[in-house]
Structure 1
Amino acid sequence: MTYQNNKPYNMPSTFLKSLSFFSLAMIIVALMSACSPSGPRTVENPLVNYANTSTIDVVKVELNDSNTVLHVKSHFTPGYWIRIAGDSYLMADGKKYALTATEGIKTDTEFWMPESGEADFKLIFEPLPFDTERFDFIEGEDPKAFKLWNIDVTGKPAAQYPDGLPKELQAEFVDGEVPDVVFGIGKTTVNFHLLPYREEIAPELSMYVNSMDGSQEEYPIKLDEKGNGSVAFEQYGSCRAFVVDTQNGISYADLTLQPGEIVDCYLDARISGSMAMRYRDPRPSTHVSRALHNGAYSNFDRMRTQLRKYHGLQLHTGTFADFHMTTDEYKNMVKSLYLANTDSIQASDAPLMQKEYEQLQLQNDVLEAMADYRYLLGHNYRHVKNNWREAVPDDSIKVNLTDADFAEVLTWFDVVNPKLLIEGQAVGATDWNAYGAAGDLSKSVRMFMKKAGMAKKMKLGKADLDTLNSLSNPFFAQACDSIMQRATRRQLQLQKNGKMSETPNVADDKVFDAIVAPYKGKVVIVDLWNTWCGPCRAALKENEPLKSGELDNEDIVWVYIADESSDPVKYLSMIEEIKGVHHKVNEKQIASIRERFNVDGIPYYIVVDRQGKAEGRPDLRDHAKYVETIKSKL
């Protein structure tokens, strides 16, 4: 029914019958044409949906008859360089549009970032059709090239949730109290789903689990052809976990887990695009969330990941405290900051759960500021002196907190509130029970952090277990016992593979020569590393493919030397995936190697040529130089 002069008007049936399907189709086409772009246009701040970098952002697109111009803003470390490949192109509707010119940058040439860390340039391409809605920017075919996918030039706002997210997870945060910490043991399984999934944009993901014992474990996530993957691990107490793109440092999820649960966690792939756009002012509203899961803490995490302001103490900036301070000045500063931030939190109109959580964050910072005061003041000393290599002189730090100073903190807030553990382990940074705090939670957490480390190395004795069993909460003894049993089983299983070579029984200062002696006449690449070393793991991941690629050569021998600081079970597990000869040396042996080659940190590389001459090469941390040097020795 239609209306004419505000009165109902019935259209004659003869007209309806004469309206053919063709006529309807023509009307629809005409309406669509009227709404579609038909000429040159400029789009400011187009929505970048997916990216493999946060170094560059497309802040404006000009679609013209003769070309398409991308206005690019780069943010990177001053004094470092970026490069734009000459074979860059745009991809739209399955067709490539080549790069034809640039302004402000030369292709295939190192562009050094200025002191500001910001740079603007233009990339000019063959013209995209005016009706283009989305396109990809591909900076050449190198696997490490910049790639921005699905750049939207329609002007439409971003959807609140990614396509494919279950309805039950499309929920808003419900206010309440911060949930309790669970002291329990169980096998936790997290099933991951990347939404949407496209093979070319799939990141290399790992889940990092921060456990109640203060340790962190990495679990690689292998996605299948549908973008699904799973991680299972033994969990001891409530913990925090982060899902990170290990190649680009982009965080996809931040979740709190309860021991023994099975969780479905959905990863919004648009997070990568939001990181590329993060320097825009104002920052675009992309609605991405890092808490799309159905676990026990899902509601809490929805609140937590939406926080925009941090009311903590900014402890690790190097400027938190002045190393010239006296004891009273330092303690009073911490107290005044705590009270000021508490007032700010309580005066806000934030939900009650958010206020409680922000207070817990702040209190964790206060406990750390008091327990680790010498480290924090030393950090300021290094920052002021710009000297990060030499030890901080003992007499440079004037602060010396007493038992009375620590006891005073107990009057500020409940330092042994179990909920503090949902944000960190500062409650165990020192033994607050020794200064008068009720119960034994602080003592228990502090002991747990130490004994769990011993259990992982299978060095936990009966006396240690007896001490743990004396604690009021049986969880800590049960957890340590479980950790050691699991480590023992895993080590026996891995030892069957026999991947680790026996270290020669020679004098400490002769052990290096004895390790490389069997390979004289070949080029030996010695890698000093340890399981706990993040840069070592990153380098291993980058270098390993070379052995079956451009450095696939029988005249190269890969030797890996770790020491006893490496977790024994993790070590055996990791070397299964590293092609080469593996040795684990003791403290005196590694000290001899470090002294001989002036080792300044790890990873550290030693190249032994065909004649047996060994040379320390820390410069091979540069991947390109690593490959170039090894090739030159063949």
Structure 2
Amino acid sequence: MLLCAACAMQAKERVIERPPFIAWNSTSIEIDKLVISDTATVAYIKAFYRPKFWIKIAKGSFLADPDGQLYPIRRGIGITLDEEFWMPESGEAEFQLVFPPLPENVTWVDFSEGDMEGAFKIWGIQLDKKAFYKRDLPKEAIVHKINKEAALPVPEFAYGKATVKGKIMDYREGMPQAGRLHLLEPLRWTSSLQEINIHEDGTFEVEIDVITTTPAIFSFPFAQVSCLLAPGKETKVLINPAEYCRQQSQLHKNAKPYGKKAYFEGYLAALQQELSDNTIKTNLAGNPRSHFDRIADKDANSVKEYFTELRRNTLQEIEKADMSRAAKEVLAANTDNTTAINILMADDMMKQAHMFTQKLNREQANEYYRDTRIEMPEDFYSVLKELSINTPANLYTPEFAYIALVARRYQELLQKTLGTSEGVLFQTMEALKYYRSIEDFTPLTAEQKATLDALPEPAYKELLTALNNELLRKIEENKKKSGFTVNEVGEVSNEELFSSILAKYKGHVLLVDFWLLGADPAAWPTKR
């Protein structure tokens, strides 16, 4: 009798191992298993977070079914609700969350901690895995055949509007209603963030001024997708958050794909598809710390050989890939951009590598950084002549903005090494000089406006003129405002500016806000 009772109890349980899901807003918690019985729904959670940091599950957490019925959390097992749960050294942990039972006809649920800032949310947790895998993709999910002989078009310069029309697959009420467009253009790279409003049907549309082929990133809480924009061109993108999140998931990344993370139509759609699908890492400068163990306390030539070997290996991987000539050219150019960044900043990285691997404290690190000077061999930078960092193909790459900003510190060196002061890199560096003035809230002078004509591409002048006019408009608007006092500090050096501001308040308590308005590597001081 007891055996029969146990079998009957087990028969009433539904167990969904690693249920697929539509989207999430954090990679910190994942559902390893759902066990649904007549008495409870138990979510077996695996947490992935920084060691010795904490996460928390709110008492107000709940599951919600397609009809809007809520199933409030009852308790945690292995975790206390509303209390800090400290992650172990491994950065991984397990616990269970207990909810009321779910009706048999429910095919998916959402998990939410509520609407407070930072709340964990997982949308569309699938209770019927077979049905989910059999679902049809929308008609907009067009897969382009790769034309291996397709050449990369030379980007055209023109000041005009680029249009993006997008749609989020499986979008539903309760999912985030906004995202951002980040333009990876050298001039506005550190300041260009445009808000995106998502409509109820998951569609969105953006128009933005650009001057040539320009990479951009769409960032949502549940997905991040790169695309290419161009003046007068329309890009259509269908974003598949389920596949994007699967690729980010620790538990699902090796599972069967749910399609592509994005589908493209319109401007260079086939190329955009290839670049979106690419898994070859071409940003060799994205994580400097990853190089520290290899370059710490090595001589300059050994460091150069390390970075050039890294480049060679990446280019070989690109050449072997099943891609078009166009896609390979873009990936190779991005590899060269980031190799150049590593070479140009090698002396700085060598210092940082020593400080990191030797585990110097702050005082020791400051002293070492201040007192250490690394002499680079005379021919150290000659390798830059082998890199494609000054060609039109670079305009397609996401890291061209980064190399343009870094290169400003080394403009004279680059001119001497490359034997030219012309080309897209030098033209961009010249335009950056004018944009920095505008970004610093200083309108262009008559002399600067006159020299804009010297830029080889008129589109730069049109963009800079438009940005300058917008700055003048803001200044005039600000002049009309009241309720504050503007204090003049006079002619003082940058080093004395803060002391000059504080001088008139000597003997008083003063609250000061510090704002980081940009991240231009060319403006980095020697001592950080």
What is the CA distance between 1:349 and its match in structure 2? 4.2
Q: Which has the larger radius of gyration?
A: 1
8 Å CA contact 1:244–1:252 kept in 2: the answer is yes
Call closer, same or farther: CA 1:226–1:510 in 2, change over 3 Å. farther
Match of 2:475 in 1: 491
Q: 1:318 corresponds to which residue?
A: 289
**Structure 2 Cα separation of the partners of residues 218 and 440 of structure 1:** 30
Distance in structure 2 (CA, Å) of the matches to 1:413 and 1:143: 45
Change (3 A) 1:386 1:177: farther
Deviations, residues 575-608 of structure 1 (Å, cap 9, x unaligned): xxxxxxxxxxxxxxxxxxxxxxxxxx9xxxxxxx
Contact 1:377 1:397 in 2 (8 A): no
Q: Deviations over 1:453-509 (max 9, x none)?
A: 2244344334445555445444444443343234323433x3365167222469733
Shift in alpha-carbon separation, 1:335–1:479, aligned structure 2, 3 A? same
1:503 alignment partner, SS class: coil
Question: Which of 273, 291, 303 lines up with 1:330 in the alignment?
Answer: 303
- Note if 1:443 corresponds to 2:418: no
Map 1:93-492 → 2, pairs under 5 A:
93-94=66-67, 95-140=69-114, 142=116, 144-156=118-130, 158=132, 165=138, 167=140, 169-175=141-147, 176-213=150-187, 215-216=189-190, 217-245=192-220, 248=221, 250-270=222-242, 273-274=245-246, 277-280=249-252, 282-290=254-262, 292-314=263-285, 316-320=287-291, 322-386=295-359, 390-391=365-366, 393=369, 396-402=372-378, 404-410=379-385, 412-423=386-397, 424-425=400-401, 426=403, 429=407, 430-431=410-411, 432-437=414-419, 440-441=422-423, 442-456=425-439, 457-465=441-449, 467-492=451-476
CA contact (8 A) 2:75 2:99 kept: yes
2:499 is equivalent to residue 528 of structure 1: no
**Match of 1:303, as an amino acid?**
E
Cα deviation, 1:117-147, whole Å, max 9, x if unaligned, reads 1111122222223343212223356454322
Q: Output the CA distance in 2 between the equivalents of 1:395 and 1:513.
A: 34
CA drift at 1:47: 0.6
Instruction: Indicate whether 1:509 and 2:483 are aligned.
Output: no
1:43 and 1:153 in contact (8 A); partners too: yes
Distance change >3 Å, CA 45–CA 212, structure 1 → 2: same
Secondary structure in structure 2 of the residue aligned to 1:190: strand
Per-residue deviation, 1:71: 1.1
CA RMSD of aligned residues (A): 3.6
Whole-angstrom CA distance in 1 between matches of 2:389 and 2:418: 10
CA distance in 1, matches of 2:213, 2:380: 31
1:192–1:229 contact (8 Å) kept in structure 2? yes
Aligned with 2:47 (options 74, 94, 97): 74
Change (3 A) 1:381 1:459: farther
User: Could you tell me the TM-score, scaled by structure 1's length?
Assistant: 0.67
The 1:420–1:388 alpha-carbon spacing in structure 2 relative to 1, beyond 3 Å, is farther
In the alignment, is the contact (CA less than 8 A) between 1:211 and 1:238 conserved in 2?
no
In 2, are the aligned partners of 1:195 and 1:227 still within 8 Å (CA)?
yes
Distance in structure 2 (CA, Å) of the matches to 1:49 and 1:422: 31
Cα 1:491/1:514, change in 2 over 3 Å: farther
- Identity percentage of aligned residues: 18
Question: Any idea what the Cα deviations from partners look like across 1:288-332, whole Å, max 9, x if unmatched?
Answer: 424x44442432221111112314535533242525233322333
Relative to 1, partners in 2 of residues 1:350 and 1:264: Cα closer, same or farther, differing over 3 Å?
closer
1:604-619 correspondence to structure 2 within 5 Å: none
Q: Alpha-carbon deviation of 1:258?
A: 0.6
Deviation at 1:285, TM superposition (A): 1.7
Aligned pair count reads: 483
Alignment partners' CA distance in 1, 2:377 and 2:341: 13
List per-residue Cα deviations over 1:253-308 (Å, max 9, x = no partner).
21111124344444434367537734445245232424x44442432221111112
User: Which is worse superposed, 384-393 or 256-265?
Assistant: 384-393
Change in Cα spacing, 1:162 to 1:102, as seen in structure 2 (3 Å) is same
**Which letter maps to 1:400?**
M
* TM superposition shift of 1:72: 0.8
